[in-house]
Every structure is written in structure tokens, then in C-alpha cells.
Amino acid sequence: MLLILFLSYLSQICLALYPSSGNVVELTPSNFDKLVIRGDEVWVVEFFAPWCGHCKNLVPEYTKAANALKGIIKVGAVDTDEHKELGGQYGVRGFPTIKIFGSDKRKPEDYNGGRTAKDIVEAALKAAKAKVKAKLGLGGGSSQSDDDEGKDVIELTDSNFEELVIKSDDMWLVEFFAPWCGHCKNLAPHWSKAASELKGKVKLGALDATVHQVKSSQYGVHGYPTIKFFAPGAKDSPTDYDGGRTSNDIVNWALDKLSENIPAPVVSQIVDEKSFKESCEDKPLCVIVILPHILDCQSECRNNYINLLTSIGEKFKKKMWGWVWSEAGAQLDLENALDIGGFGYPAMAVINLKKMKYSILRGSFSNDGIYEFLRDLSYGKGNTAPVKGESLPKINNIEPWNGKDGVLPEEEDIDLSDVEFEEKDEL
């Protein structure tokens, strides 16, 4: 009997992982809210399972971090096997999971750094600094705010993956990682830089495969990091990324995929301010074409021009430019601001809305003429001029073209029976 009691006692000590006399505070449902949520201190909290090998390996480093942070930042641990409700409350699905409770205690930040005491301490101090800055009104409510590292990498989970990735029309590169993985840590700054460079073109996401195991299992992830490409129209069958691990490698690989998958740009008619902004506002450059009036160039003629522009747009689609057209005279303020139309119609101008500068096609409005003009602009060549005025002029609301030929207005019959003519003396 004594042997059984002794073994039971020994088992409880082993399962605890952290001694009650140490600086790692044991957290339970009965004290978690009081100590962590309502307390003023920043808390680093590990959610562990006593049988977890990675959790056991973490003990000496986590203890070392707790000792170093004593009196500065609180460090705690939750036995999620015993207190499943706490693990469920904070979405814990893998072990160990570390969360930092900083400025917003209701929204703790996932710790995805290294498993050394140094890494844990640095993340904790960063969170504390962010909390102090927030109290001073200097912003920085997030521990990531100092350098905005990874600000363009989208955090993916089992619960948001379907909505953000699968159901979207965007192209995605998704990294499946493990927080303790050395190769993942080395990739992180390159992944972050690539995400910023590809913003607006290809989305980059990251999913912690140790926590969100449903998706990682679904896509056959067995090693870290694993990167998969989700193309529009083929989201159920992602392809493996087979490029290099530098930011340049990632960007170039993604842009190649982008050029393979994106359709030719749509050459849209400018019918109101909304249509103009949707086509041009967030684009590096916007190609603006003024076509002849429909009475001077009927539907077949106009469609030939639009088809020509669409064909050339296909060659430059990787540039992600906007393409719009308007009928001569429909947007006179825009024509005047860009000095377009002075050489007759059709006419073309390319505008950089961020710099408010434009360039005009001076050569022939033909496949070769337009291609050479746009090619030079893509290389940063060509003459530019500032747009007249501090901003673009107002865009008129007009009826979109119905695709038909133009028709002259009917002449009104004039009744001259009541008109009195003056009689002139005959010479």
C-alpha cells in the first residue's frame, strides 16, 4: 500500500513538470482569470501536456526564462491534460503552445519563436515594451509593432483557411511551419519580405502545423517548412513550391506563377469615378485610351481597337497595370489634364497615380507602336509630365456603350408655314 502511495506521489511530481517552489506559476481555471486576465503584469503562458516529449524538452529553457524574468514579467504554465477547458478556451491543439498576454489580455499573441530561454525572454520584453508604448499613447499595442516584421504575412488557422484561401479568387503561397523548426526560423525574414513585395499580387500565409493539424494533415504535410501554391480554379489540388528560400527566389517564383494564371487584363470603359478607380487606383500604372467618337468609328472599328489593346495587355499582364478607355469628348476634363487628344484619336496616355505623372504615346497607334511605347515605360524609359492640377479632374457619369453602331439624331421637321419673310425690293 505504501509503495502504491509513493508511486502515485512520484507520478504526480513527474506529471507537474514544474515544481511549485519555482518561478513558473501553476495556472488553473480557479486562478487564471485573477492572475493573468485581471492582473496588470504581462504574462508568458505555456499550455503543455505532461506526456509531451517537446514539452519535457522545453522545461529547462522555460524555467531559465522564468528565472531571468522574475520581478519583471510573469511566467506561467497550464497542464492542459488536467485543465482542458483552458486549453479549449484559447484554441490550443498542439503542445507546447505558448501565448503572451500583453496589452489586450482577451487577445493573447501566439509565440512562434525559438525554444531557447533567450528567444522567450526577448519576446516577453518586446510585449512589455509594446504595452508601455500603448499606455503612453504612442501606439504599439502589439509586440510586433516595433518593426512590423511579418505584417503582410497572413496568419492562417484551421478555422479561417477555407474562407481566406480556398474560397478566394486570390493566388496563395502557404507556409506550413513548426515554431521549433530551425529552417522555419531562417525562412521567416525572407517570407516576410517576399509577402511585402508581392502584396496586391500574390498572398502569402503561414500556418502553424503543430497547432492547426487538420489542414496540415489534409495537405500531407510531414516536414517543415512545407510550402504549397494554391492557384485560382485549382485550390483543391495545390502544388508544391520548388523554388529557393530567399525572398528574391520566392518573389520570382510567385510572379512566374502569376503570369501563368492571371487572365489578360480587361479594358474597361470609364463610365463614372468608381469604374475609373477600380481599374486604376491601386495599379502601378494605368493605360488610358481615348477612342474616336462612335459616329467616326462604328462598332466594328471600335471593337478592333479594344481587341488590339486586350492583345497587347496580355503581353504586359505580369505588370498588373490598369487598362481603361473612353469615347472622345466623354471625359474632356480628363483629356485636358493629360494633354491627350491633341494629335487626334485614338490617343493613349499612361499615368502613375501615386506620382501623378503621365506619358503620352507620340508614335503610331498600332501593335508595334503601342508595344514599343509600353515596353520603354516598363523599363523606366520615356518622357513624363506632371498631371495638370493637384488631383485628377472629376470623372463624368455616362451611359456605358451598348456595343452597337452610332446613329445620327433624327432631324426635326420644321413647319415654316407661319414664318413671315421680309420682302426685298427688286433691283
Rounded Cα–Cα distance for residues 28 and 25 (Å): 10
Q: One of 55, 280, 286, 297 is an active-site residue; which one?
A: 55
Catalytic residue status for 181: yes
Rounded Cα–Cα distance for residues 61 and 48 (Å): 14
For 170, residues 6+ apart whose C-beta sits below 8 A from its C-beta are: 202, 203, 232
Return the number of other C-beta atoms located less than 10 Å from residue 34's C-beta.
Answer: 9
For 242, residues 6+ apart whose C-beta sits below 8 A from its C-beta are: none
Catalytic residue status for 301: no
Catalytic residue status for 55: yes
Which bin fits 341, alpha (ψ -120 to 50), beta or left (φ > 0)? left
Helices (H), 17-142: 32, 53-68, 84-89, 117-135
By CB atoms closer than 10 A (0-12, 13-18, 19+), residue 411 is: exposed
Q: One of 14, 181, 286, 301 is an active-site residue; which one?
A: 181
Q: One of 184, 280, 286, 297 is an active-site residue; which one?
A: 184
Helices (H), 212-364: 213-218, 247-261, 273-280, 299-315, 332-337
User: What is the β-pairing status of strands 25-27 and 74-79?
Assistant: parallel
Task: Supply the residues annotated as catalytic.
Answer: 52, 55, 181, 184
